């Protein structure tokens, strides 16, 4: 309460409003601070040097056993034995995957120019749509395993398409890339690893 020009002015309500506003602001800042603290902890706990290089328990282990039909020849059964003999890439893809379309031209180029076998796993997809997709965009794969139920994907620990595995001549998984294979990923990572595996064989 204050006195101005002979009149008395009550400021208690204004002060109370200011106090209430400050209290509300403090209350709102607490959950916001906790949220950012949680984000910081999670980012530190799960930080990787490269987010595409997610760890895989299958590195240095044989490719999982499977028996799946050929996407283009359903009467043919493909097994893990069909993947052995050469250093190769195994690409998990699907028509519903936008990043698969982004990386696809690079796989078409690799198959045509680099002499590297590429095997496809058509993942959780519809076979007719998958065949049309390859007709439209080109087919870089020696063959495609039709994993419509996603069982092989589960055995491989697939997070989602696209994912690419590098296997040696014996069908042992040597490297896993999660996400789009770009020209940079090919030239800086996959190609040197393939050359190294070929020299070791």
pTM: 0.74
Residue range 94-131, pLDDT digits in tens: 999 999 999 999 999 999 999 999 999 999 999 999 99
| Topology given in CATH for the domain delimited by 67-200 | Glutaredoxin (3.40.30)
Cross-strand partners of 120? 91, 144
Q: Which of 38-52, 57-71, 77-91, 169-183 has the lowest mean pLDDT?
A: 38-52
Domain spans of the chain?
2-45, 67-200
Q: How confident is the model at residue 86 (pLDDT cuts 50, 70, 90)?
A: very high
Q: How confident is the model at residue 41 (pLDDT cuts 50, 70, 90)?
A: very low
How high is the mean pLDDT of the chain? 85
Q: How confident is the model at residue 154 (pLDDT cuts 50, 70, 90)?
A: very high
For the chain, where are the E strands, in sequence order? Answer: 2-4, 7-9, 67-69, 77-79, 88-93, 118-123, 144-147, 163-167, 173-178
CA atoms within 13 A on the CB side of 72: 12
Task: Give the C-alpha separation, 154 to 55, whole Å.
Answer: 15
- State mean pLDDT over 66-80: 98
Is the bond leading into 135 cis (omega within 30 degrees of zero)? no
Angle at 171 between CA 168 and CA 174, to 5 degrees: 50
> What does the block give as tokens for 93?
């893809």
For residue 32, the model assigns a pLDDT of: 61
Task: Give the C-alpha separation, 24 to 36, whole Å.
Answer: 19
Task: Give the C-alpha separation, 70 to 3, whole Å.
Answer: 92
Determine which helix (DSSP H) or strand (DSSP E) holds 107, and give its type and residue range. helix 98-113
């Amino acid at each position: 309460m204050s006195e101005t020009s002979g009149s008395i002015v009550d400021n208690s309500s204004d002060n109370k409003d200011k106090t209430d506003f400050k209290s509300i602001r403090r209350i709102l800042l607490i959950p916001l601070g906790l949220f950012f603290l949680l984000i910081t902890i999670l980012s530190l706990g799960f930080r990787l040097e490269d987010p595409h290089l997610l760890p895989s328990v299958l590195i240095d282990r044989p490719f999982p056993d499977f028996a799946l039909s050929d996407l283009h020849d359903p009467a043919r059964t493909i097994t893990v034995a069909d993947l052995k003999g050469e250093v190769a890439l195994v690409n998990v893809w699907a028509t519903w995957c936008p990043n698969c379309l982004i990386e696809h031209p690079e796989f078409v180029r690799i198959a045509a120019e680099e002499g590297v076998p590429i095997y496809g796993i058509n993942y959780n997809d519809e076979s007719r749509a998958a065949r049309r997709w390859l007709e439209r965009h080109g087919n870089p794969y020696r063959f495609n395993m039709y994993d419509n139920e996603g069982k092989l994907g589960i055995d491989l620990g697939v997070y989602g398409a696209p994912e690419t595995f590098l296997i040696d001549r014996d069908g042992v998984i040597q490297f896993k890339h999660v996400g789009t294979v770009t020209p940079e990923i090919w030239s800086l990572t996959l190609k040197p690893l393939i050359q190294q595996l070929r020299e070791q064989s």
